[in-house]
Amino acid sequence: MATVVPLAEAVGNLVRDGDSVALEGFTHLIPYAAGHEIIRQGRRDLVLIRMTPDLIYDQLIGMGCARRLVFSWGGNPGVGSLHRFRDAVQNHWPAPLEIEEHSHAGIANAYVAGASGLPFAVLRGYRGTDLPSRTPNIKPITCPFTGEELTAVPAINPDVAIVHAQRADRHGNVQLWGITGVQKEAVLAARRSLVTVEEIVEELQPRPGAVVLPEWAITHVSEAPGGSHPSYSAGYSVRDNGFYRAWDGIARDRDTFLAWMDENVLTRKAGR
């Protein structure tokens, strides 16, 4: 049964030090506002899960919130590297970062298994690559009918899943559309969940391509207009490609990064 609460309260209720937390949104509807709130609340030792860790995970990692990253593609899409992620992996700054690395197909299926109440998923994947030698939880599995060998990955069931959506109604039923990525699976796989939304409306109107998550499958809903910036919320905002490009310069240097975070994330707390 979803309850609609302010963002700081939702994050405070749901995210604890040491939790596994999945912030999903496949280039679209990335829950930046919620990520910033996690940073402001000073969470530590998080296991961060995300197919495409982009700037928000660069920020969480650079601010020392994470001890482990489970991911399949960690870059600044169309721009280049995530410098804070690289600095953590290559130089252990600000803290060592364990990584568990998959392919997109692997993580997507691990979420599907998690959402489905299964302990594992089967896919044609990883075979012949060096990933299984570095990610121990990728295992072979044999088809009981054909004898063919395929690949199994364990289900992902995060302690908390956080996604951003366009709308919710007052009961907490959520509607998102456009590129819907793996958000439904992440929410359904998680023990607890938070959906931030552009706006809360009286009634959800059916829309082409919309995914609806009923309120009884969600823990908290929080209004966070613009909460996906610099990614976008189709129908509400456009992707701020300029910011993605600018981030490359901001994040390249530790001090520039910290100054930016201080000015744009940490000191904005009071304003909310």
By CB under 8 A, name the binding residues for other proteins.
26-28, 51-52, 71-75, 77-82, 85-86, 89-90, 101-105, 108-109, 111-112, 115-118, 123-131, 134, 148-150, 173, 178-182, 184-185, 188, 209, 211-214, 216-217, 232, 234, 238-239, 241, 244
Q: Which is nearer to other proteins, 3 or 81 (CB)?
A: 81
User: CA-to-CA distance for 156 and 143, rounded, in angstroms?
Assistant: 22
| Binding partner at 178 among a second copy, other proteins, none, C-beta below 5 to 8 Å by kind | other proteins
Adjacent-strand bridge partners of 4? 221
Q: Please answer whether residues 71 and 53 qualify as being in contact, where contact means their C-beta atoms are separated by less than 8 angstroms.
A: yes
Q: How far is the CB of 112 from other proteins (least distance, A)?
A: 5
Q: Which is nearer to other proteins, 43 or 167 (CB)?
A: 167
Token pair for 207: 């829309």
Q: How far is the CB of 143 from a second copy (least distance, A)?
A: 4
Closest CA to 157 of 208, 120, 205, 199: 120
Q: How far is the CB of 183 from other proteins (least distance, A)?
A: 8
The CA-atom distances, in angstroms, between 166 and each of 23, 126, 270 are 16, 35, 25
Q: Please answer whether residues 57 and 88 qualify as being in contact, where contact means their C-beta atoms are separated by less than 8 angstroms.
A: no
Q: Please answer whether residues 22 and 45 qualify as being in contact, where contact means their C-beta atoms are separated by less than 8 angstroms.
A: no
| Binding partner at 59 among other proteins, a second copy, none, C-beta below 5 to 8 Å by kind | none
Give residues in contact with a second copy (CB under 8 A). Answer: 117-124, 137, 139-141, 143-146, 148, 150, 152, 154, 206-210
Q: How far is the CB of 7 from other proteins (least distance, A)?
A: 24
Q: Please answer whether residues 102 and 70 qualify as being in contact, where contact means their C-beta atoms are separated by less than 8 angstroms.
A: yes
